[in-house]
Structure formats: structure tokens, C-alpha cells
Structure 1
Amino acid sequence: MEKPAARRDKFSIFGPRALDRVVRCVAEGQGLSKTDFMEKVRQSNQACQQGDFGAAIRLYSDALLADPQNCILYSNRSAAHLKLGQYQAALEDADKAQQLNPKWPKVRPDSITP
């Protein structure tokens, strides 16, 4: 049987599998190489796992400059805003993620309430 921590990482939006999902959606963009983009995403996921949600928001924002159509980054940034009690910003990012990919399973803007 899997340990609870391993199971939690497997399904966490900030876990190692989240990075794999971003790789499939990455579009090389403005000012960041694919390697630099992936490093920003890795750092932002790591910051979230460590509870440094402010740093994660900044890093997700940097990555979004390179790939502004990435619903996963908006979804993850929304979750980081939510952890900091920034409900309006969380809702805006959740809305944007849903606009970019209406079938994205982690976006439910009606469930974000202060």
C-alpha cells in the first residue's frame, strides 16, 4: 500500500506530476528558453510544496509571461493565491484557466469563496 505522502504527491497540483503536465503544454515564449521556463515552473512548484506561496505566485507569473495560454499555470497560481487568502486574484486566475481550457478538471471558480 502506498504511503499517504506518496499518494498526496501523486495527485497534488504542486507535485512532481504537475511538472509533467506543464511540459506537454509548454510553448516557448517571450524571453525564456524552454529550459528556463521549465526551471521557473519547477521552482514555483517547489515553493508551493514548501509553503512559500508568495514566491510561487511570482514564479508562476514569470512563467506565464513566456506561456500566457497555459491553463495549468493559471490553475496553480490560483491555488497559491487561495492559500494566501487572496480570493479575488484566485478567482480571476481560475476563470482564466477555465477560459483557456473549459475541460480542465481542477478549475471550479464557483467553489472559490472567501
Structure 2
Amino acid sequence: MPLLMRDGKVVKRLEGGRRIVLGLGDGQIDVAEERLEPGDWVVFHTDGVTEARDADGTFYGVERLTDQLRRSAAAGHSAPETLRRVVHEVLDHQHGQLQDDATLLVAQWATRKEEALRAAPR
């Protein structure tokens, strides 16, 4: 389930709008709505992220994902840097061996402050 981050914290799991795997079923889609605010991040992930296992079989888990997102936001990291950090942490958890597809997408409602930083000369 996607996660909604607001003000650097995961505030809820977005449970609506789910459907079965693409290409299966009758084509019906449940639509859900969520009111977003400037600065919000929506974090989409496959089970290959949360179900990544270490050598002892322990899942990476939603709690660890949520904690990494919170720590990255608290450190002021951008969405792309947060994404990079989560990917490296998941790979480290599995000792570099992916066992399943692992897809992660961070969609961010950029604020004027972030847009200005991107436009600033380097």
C-alpha cells in the first residue's frame, strides 16, 4: 500500500483504489481519492521492498521503510536522495541479492521553495 508522508512523517497508508495484478480479472478498477497538500510525498512500493529478506529470513518490513523515510525527511534529504537511501538499505538488508522485483516511486508535491532551489545556479 502506498504511504502518505506529510511534514516529514508517514501519516497514513493509502488503502483505497486497489486492484489485482495488471492483465488479470475483469478490468474493474476501484478508484480512491486523497486530499494532498503542498510538500506531501506519496511513496509507492512493491512487496519486493517490504518483503526483502535477510540471511535469517527477516523481512525488511513496512516499519523499517517508514523509519528510513522519516529519518531521511528529518535530515532534509530530497525525494530522490531518500529513494537512493531506501534502495541501498534494502539491498544491504539482502546482502546485495534481490530475491523479488523491488520497485519504489516517490511522488512529491514540490513547493515553491523546492522549485527555487532547483532553479538556482550551481
TM-score w.r.t. the length of structure 1 is: 0.34
- Greater fraction of residues in strand: 2
TM-score (norm 2): 0.32
The structure number with the bigger radius of gyration is 2
Of structures 1 and 2, the one with the larger relative CO (CA 8 A, separation 6+) is: 2
Higher helix share: 1
